Amino acid sequence: MDELLGEEIHVIELHMMDLRKFFPLTAASNAAARTFLYPLHLVRTHLQTQVGKQAYKGTWDAIKSKMVSVLPENVPRMLINCLASPLAGMSAAAIMNPVDVVRVRMQTKCEGFLGTYVRLCRESGYGWVFKGMSARTLHAGFNSMLVMFVYESVKRVSLKPEYQGCTRW
């Protein structure tokens, strides 16, 4: 272990963490992220299940009624991670949105895949592919950014003292 202390550490392993801090803080951060992001999940589900403009005129109208945005403080390396992670999450969310729309409709209308697909095409044309996409991508972006921010913070707090001086943040 003494030979490690003279070198700069680039990868932080689980054995380097104070697990008494790491696990409770990770659980608390996950609960906080879920609590903060639930309104976006709710907006997405409402937008995907509504026919026409029953409840909301669009995503922004729904978001205004459901949540207030919160931004993390910027820290150089953390800033890079907090910018890259939402882009990855938003890309994945945009690609998977049609599957999610069908899944939510199947769950709420108790129909099979083909019946749900036909109903969606009849009700919305092929525009159903984009139903709730903006809310879904925002949710994924905020979730990715928040998880990355909190994870990086938990890592800093949980690192054992003997590794703190040789870790590059």
Q: What is the pLDDT of residues 92-144, one digit of tens each?
A: 888 888 888 888 888 888 788 888 888 888 888 888 888 888 888 888 888 88
Average pLDDT, the chain: 75
Residue with tokens 């990868």: 11
Distance from C-alpha of 117 to C-alpha of 126, rounded to nearest angstrom: 10
The residue ranges of every structural domain in the chain are 2-34+74-164
CA angle 61, 66, 69 (to 5 degrees): 95
CA distance to 47, 52, 60, 107, per residue, from 66 (Å)? 13, 20, 10, 23
State the pTM of this model: 0.49
**Half-sphere exposure (Cβ direction) of 159: Cα atoms closer than 13 Å:** 19
